[in-house]
Structures are given as C-alpha cells and as structure tokens.
Structure 1
Amino acid sequence: MSGKFSGFPKAGFDFLEDLKENNTRDWFAENKSRYRETLQDHLLDFIEAMVEPLANITPHFVADARRNGGSMFRIHRDVRFSKDKRPYKEHAACHFRHSLGRDAHAPGFYVHLAPDEVLYGAGIWMPPSDALYMIRRAIADRPDAWSKVLNDKRMKKIFGEIGGDGLKRPPKGFSADDPHIDDLKRKTFFVMHKTTAKAAQGPEFLAEVVEGFKATMPLMHFLCKAVDVPC
C-alpha cells in the first residue's frame, strides 16, 4: 500500500488475464507477490481513499482497508459446494457495507474489477427472506416513493434501470395487479454502471465512483428504510 490511490495499473489487469489461464494453487503461489504488488495493494489504496468521501455521502457505510476482513473481497473461491473447482476468482472486488450489516447481503456499495469489464454501483444482493419481504412490502405500501426512486433522473442517467433476477410469478401475499409487480418479483435490487479497465487506470476513477455512489442514494435510502437501518 502506498497510502494514495493513483489508479489501477494495467499490470493488475494483466495479472487477472494470466490468472484466468493459470487458475491453480501452484501458479498463484508462485505469483502471489505479483498479485499483491499489481492489484491487491492498489485496491487497498482505493478503499483507503474512499473513507472520507464515503463518510460525506453517508456515515453509516464502512470503507475498511484491512488486508483481511475489511471491504476487500478475498480472491479465494469457496469451492466446497461448487462443481467449479477453480480455486481463485478471476476478478477483484470490494464492498462498502452498512455498519450494521454482517455480510454482503446488507445494502451496500460495490466495485468490481476484471479485464473485460469494470463495474460499480449499489443496492442489496440476494437478501435473506425476512429482509426481502420487508423491501417488497415497502414497495407495495409506498408505490409513489418507489416510483420516485425509479424515475430519479441523475441515477437513471448513470445507471439506467434497476436490475436484479426475479421470480416468474408474483410472490406470495402480493397482487399480480400491483403497478410495480415486476420489481416485487425481484430477489435482488441493484444499479450497476459498466465501464472499462482503461477507465479505471487513472486517478480520476475515484471521483467517478464517488459521484456514482452519490447518485444511488435515492435507492439506498429506500432500501435502508425498508429494512429498518439508518442511511
């Protein structure tokens, strides 16, 4: 870590390209210092640089630049219950979660780095059933407030529509005639902006992400209120 974010170097994306072709424990062990120097350290610098801007957006979300247990996702995959036994993720990522959230299923902000795409955005990913019900209930009970989120011009300009996989049929207890039935079917609620690895290689990427996070706040306020946490 240098303590200052100056962009994600091309060498880090080159590392991920090579990892995709050599996704084995032996290869990673031989290239662990390369991983740290070209990618991990720069991601930690990015997280550290997000501390103050994120606090200015909302004091309830955490940017934690620890090497383990903080905002940065581990590169190791959990293969215990997967047919895909590749030991490492072929991307790098960080998640700025709610201070009350114990895992990635709480509302949060997200940044994803891969050679073929760089993503940033916010929302809630596959929340547990009780939180999902609370969000659906909030949409059904406050349709005008949800419409205001959907139609926020600044958020739509940067992120487009709210995304997330959903059910084929209306969830139990909700009407198929509800004006927001497509959103009530969702199991995940997020907005995500896609850019390029080249765009992330300059120091201005930090400011771009900060402005993007600011634009997500109508959605984040709604989700946090729905699951009864401050925002």
Structure 2
Amino acid sequence: MSSYFSDASFKFLRGLARHNDKTWFAAHKAQYEEHIKEPFLRLLTDLQPDLAQVSEHFRSDPKTVGGSLFRIYRDARFSTDKSPYKSWQGARLYHERRKQVPAPSFYIHLQPGECFVGAGLWHPEPDTQRRVRQFIFDNPGSWKAAAHAPKFRRRFDFEESEMLTRPPRGFPAEFEFIDDLKHKNFVFWRSLDDSVMTGPKLRQVLAADLAALAPFVDYLCAALDLEF
C-alpha cells in the first residue's frame, strides 16, 4: 500500500494560503502537480471500484477536465475575496445524472488541519430543499434509519453552518425531525487527521466512509427520484 499525499502536499497548501497570487503559484506549479493534483487523480482512480461497490450510479472520475477534481482556481467574479486560488483541494464523487438534475454527491477535502470526507447536498436550490424536506416529512421512519442511526451519528456530524431560525413554512413545529428540516444543506461529514491523509491506509479509510455514508445518500436520491 502506497501513500497518496505527503507532508509536501500540506507544505504546498500552507504556502499557497500565505502567498495567494499568480506569481507564487506559477513558480510552484510543479509542486502543485506533483504533490496535490497527480496523487489526487491517482486516488480517484483507485476509489472507483470501491465506489462501484457502494453504487453503480456514482463516479470517481480522474479526468483532468470535467472529472471529480475541482479546479484549484477560484471563481472570484461574485466574491469580495479576490484571491485567485483556493487554499485547499477538493473532489466530488458525483451522480451520473448530475448535469441533468440536482443530485447529491460524496466529497473529499484536502487542507492542512481541516481535511474531511462527507456527502449530501451543498447549497441546493430552494425547490430541491423543499423536495427533500417534504420527503423527510412523508418518510420519517426511513429518515431516522438513514440519518439518525446511533452508529452513523457517532461517526458523522450533520453540517450546521446554515440553518433557519424557525420551522420552514408548511411544516408543523411538533414534527419529530423539525430541527433537521431547518437545515439549508443536507450534508453529513467527518474530519480526517492529516496523518490519515498522508498514511498508507487512506483508500481503505475513504472506502469505509463511502459505504457508511451510502444509506444517507440513498435516501437523498430517493427524495429526488434518482437511482442509487
């Protein structure tokens, strides 16, 4: 078993966070390719059979354009932060129909001290939020099994950065999972130590996490009439 990332991967990202400009990046692009991009693409290649065991409808795609790996370049057009680069590298293991309809995805995040793996719907459109909320309301038993199993909740956290202060319109406040319906993002995640990201068992760790997240992603797919 070989490692994918190394201390050099984190060193590059820390340097990029300190010197987020085109001159520095151009001078260090070879390190980016060697220590971030190439090992991440190799990881995505190796994860594809593991993901296929979870669902044949999701892809861990190592294509350099249009694949799972996000670009390191930031889209700063609509942001007050005009930094040209992200100080992290992320990859989305996506549903095969993601370009036709809203779909959940799995996600892997590489950033010094802030690595994590997760899955779900991040910043879904209001119509997608409504569909998921209604599905949870109509199918609370299977939501409890998918998102509230004790073993699952010991492993993963429900992302809570953006929530409504009161129940969404049309849902009774006494509903068993009304707090879940207040979420704007339907994402579960867990942090990963830097040592895990640089260790020889990263693929096995991620494969186990993908399998553990599968019932939750399956539920979201059902809510959105997607195959799983």
The question of a shared fold, defined as TM-score above 0.5 by the shorter chain, is answered with yes
- 1:10 maps to which of 7, 15, 21: 7
1:90-120 Cα distance to aligned partner (Å, 9 max, x none): 0011010111112996201000011112100
- 1:66 — aligned with what? 63
Q: Does 1:163 align with 2:159?
A: yes
- Where 1:117 maps in the other structure, the secondary structure is coil
Call closer, same or farther: CA 1:71–1:6 in 2, change over 3 Å: same
Q: Does 1:118 align with 2:118?
A: no
- 1:97 — aligned with what? 94
Q: Does 1:210 align with 2:223?
A: no
| Structure 1 residue 132, shift from structure 2 partner | 1.1
Distance in 1, Cα, partners of 2:165 & 2:151: 30
- 1:24 — aligned with what? 21
1:58-86 Cα distance to aligned partner (Å, 9 max, x none): 00101110112100010111110111111
- 1:37 — aligned with what? 34
Q: 5+ residue gaps in structure 1?
A: none
- 1:106 maps to which of 103, 112, 122: 103
Aligned AA (1:170): P
Give the CA RMSD over aligned residues. 1.7
1:150-190 Cα distance to aligned partner (Å, 9 max, x none): 3323322321x422421112212212221111111111111
Distance in 1, Cα, partners of 2:95 & 2:169: 28
Call closer, same or farther: CA 1:104–1:92 in 2, change over 3 Å: farther
| Structure 1 residue 134, shift from structure 2 partner | 0.9
Asked whether the 8 Å contact 1:95–1:104 carries over to 2, the reply is: no
Distance in 1, Cα, partners of 2:13 & 2:186: 28
1:33-75 Cα distance to aligned partner (Å, 9 max, x none): 1110111100000100111110111001011101121000101
Moved more, 214-223 or 168-177: 168-177
User: Could you list the runs of 4 or more consecutive aligned residues of structure 1 that deviate by over 2 angstroms after TM superposition?
Assistant: 4-7, 102-106, 161-165
Distance in 2, Cα, partners of 1:211 & 1:154: 13
- 1:178 maps to which of 170, 175, 178: 175
Asked whether the 8 Å contact 1:5–1:42 carries over to 2, the reply is: no
| Structure 1 residue 127, shift from structure 2 partner | 1.2
Q: 5+ residue gaps in structure 2?
A: none
Distance in 2, Cα, partners of 1:158 & 1:94: 21
Asked whether the 8 Å contact 2:59–2:94 carries over to 1, the reply is: yes
Give the TM-score, by structure 2 length: 0.94
Asked whether the 8 Å contact 1:48–1:63 carries over to 2, the reply is: yes
Q: Figure out how many residues of one structure are paired with residues of the other and give that number.
A: 227
1:208-228 Cα distance to aligned partner (Å, 9 max, x none): 011011011221111000011
Asked whether the 8 Å contact 1:154–1:215 carries over to 2, the reply is: no
Distance in 1, Cα, partners of 2:205 & 2:96: 23
Give the TM-score, by structure 1 length: 0.93
Moved more, 9-18 or 175-184: 175-184
Q: Does 1:131 align with 2:128?
A: yes
- 1:85 — aligned with what? 82
Distance in 2, Cα, partners of 1:104 & 1:8: 33
